[in-house]
């Protein structure tokens, strides 16, 4: 029987925060749990996480966990990736309804059709895809390594799914032909150019940092384009006291915490309901019950792992395909 909290999970707001935080730490230890959280999670969830990061950082962390349980606070594809990279651990996903709408825009049969239409092309799947889609891919990428992944391939054509904006962004930095798919992240797509222009007018010294899932018109005027983790590094280094951040609004929580003394301005409508599906009470309950658990069929784990492993191998500077398109990374 896992150890429980000394107050009902739903009533955490009536407890002093220091007590809540201490209880979380006690449960993590007693139940052998590590808490991983994406940068867009609710502030209180981020505040009890052992590691907060972008999709790549979370996948790497998940692969290195030595505790028995990974409590994953993010969206479905991220929790699946944790299962894929560390299948002997129990991956607890506090609310199974936390599902990324962009990842749901592409499925394995559709990707198989694209592959039939472009048999010479390599397939690069954004990590924001289901494990079944990753099985069909040659290699995965995240927003922080997409250019590097595509340019490392010997192929002249590359299918990139599902985010059209990430594909168009990568196309700017490669001679290969990038075949895009019409998927999108509504959070980033809906960041409005006119609003960004207005804010730039109000803060003329503030650099504009843009996520590659944003529309090309925003990329065109960005001072820096980066994944959420890249935004942290940039903000630490940049001298400006005010920075305009074109990504999901909760990013400002971690930025305020880790880069104090600066003002981070986010944009209207940049709110991801999927990422906010996990309530803090869900996290507390999951810590108590060690459920719900994410599972995948073994063959899906093996197939998806090949694509993620190739991406991680590239990050270590290894060659994953030889010219002639034969994969050299361990399958």
State yes or no: cis peptide before 292, omega within 30 of 0: yes
Kind and range of the H or E element at 51?
strand 51-53
> Which residue in 318, 281, 312, 278 sits closest to 40, CA to CA?
278
Binder among 31, 41, 46, 55 for ligand 13P (CB under 6 A): 55
Determine if 227 is a binding residue for ligand 13P (CB under 6 A). yes
- As a whole number of angstroms, the distance between CA 265 and CA 262 comes to 10
23 versus 213: smaller Cβ distance to ligand SF4: 213
Per partner kind, with CB cut-offs from 5 to 8 A, the member of ligand SF4, ligand 13P, none near residue 143 is: ligand 13P
Determine if 81 is a binding residue for ligand 13P (CB under 6 A). no
Task: Provide the minimum distance between the beta carbon of 209 and ligand 13P in the complex, in angstroms, as a whole number.
Answer: 12
Stretch 164-223 residues interacting with ligand 13P (CB under 6 A) = 185, 213
Q: Using the CB atoms, write b or e for 136-165: b if 16+ within 10 Å.
A: bbbbbbbbbbbbebbebbebeebbbbbbbb
- As a whole number of angstroms, the distance between CA 286 and CA 94 comes to 5
Kind and range of the H or E element at 318?
none
x/- mask, ligand 13P, residues 307-326, rule CB under 6 A, reads --------------------
207 versus 212: smaller Cβ distance to ligand SF4: 212
> Which residue in 130, 186, 136 sits closest to 159, CA to CA?
136
Residues that bind ligand SF4 (CB under 6 A): 40, 75, 100-102, 128, 185, 187, 248, 272, 274-275
102 versus 137: smaller Cβ distance to ligand SF4: 102
Per partner kind, with CB cut-offs from 5 to 8 A, the member of ligand 13P, ligand SF4, none near residue 228 is: ligand 13P
Applying CB under 6 A, the residues found at the interface with ligand 13P are 39, 54-55, 100, 128, 142-143, 185, 213, 227-228
């Amino acid at each position: 029987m896992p150890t429980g909290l000394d107050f009902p999970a739903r009533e955490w707001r009536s407890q002093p925060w220091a007590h809540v935080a201490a209880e979380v730490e006690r449960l993590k230890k007693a139940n052998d749990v590590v808490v991983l959280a994406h940068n867009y999670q609710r502030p209180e969830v981020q505040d009890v996480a052992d590691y907060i990061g972008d999709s790549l950082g979370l996948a790497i962390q998940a692969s290195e966990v030595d505790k028995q349980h990974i409590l994953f606070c993010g969206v479905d594809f991220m929790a699946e990736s944790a299962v894929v990279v560390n299948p002997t651990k129990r991956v607890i996903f506090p609310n199974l309804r936390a599902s990324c709408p962009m990842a749901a825009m592409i499925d394995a049969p559709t990707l198989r059709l694209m592959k039939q239409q472009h048999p010479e092309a390599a397939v690069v799947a954004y990590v924001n895809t289901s494990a079944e889609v990753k099985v069909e891919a040659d290699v995965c990428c995240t927003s922080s390594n997409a250019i590097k992944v595509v340019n490392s391939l010997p192929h002249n054509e590359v299918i990139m799914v599902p985010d059209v904006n990430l594909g168009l962004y990568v196309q700017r930095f490669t001679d290969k032909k990038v075949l895009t798919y019409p998927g999108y992240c509504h959070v980033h797509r809906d960041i409005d150019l006119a609003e960004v222009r207005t804010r730039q007018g109000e803060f003329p010294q503030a650099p504009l940092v843009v996520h590659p899932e944003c529309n090309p018109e925003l990329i065109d005027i960005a001072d820096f384009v980066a994944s959420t983790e890249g935004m942290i590094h940039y903000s630490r280094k940049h001298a400006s006291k005010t920075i305009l951040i074109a990504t999901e609004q909760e990013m400002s929580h971690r930025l305020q915490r880790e880069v104090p003394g600066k003002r981070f301005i986010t944009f209207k409508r940049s709110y991801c309901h999927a990422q906010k599906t996990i309530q803090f009470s869900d996290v507390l309950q999951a810590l108590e019950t060690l459920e719900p658990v994410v599972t995948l069929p073994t063959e899906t784990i093996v197939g998806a792992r090949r694509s993620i492993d190739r991406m991680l191998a590239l990050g270590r500077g290894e060659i994953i395909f030889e010219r002639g398109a034969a994969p050299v990374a361990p399958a």
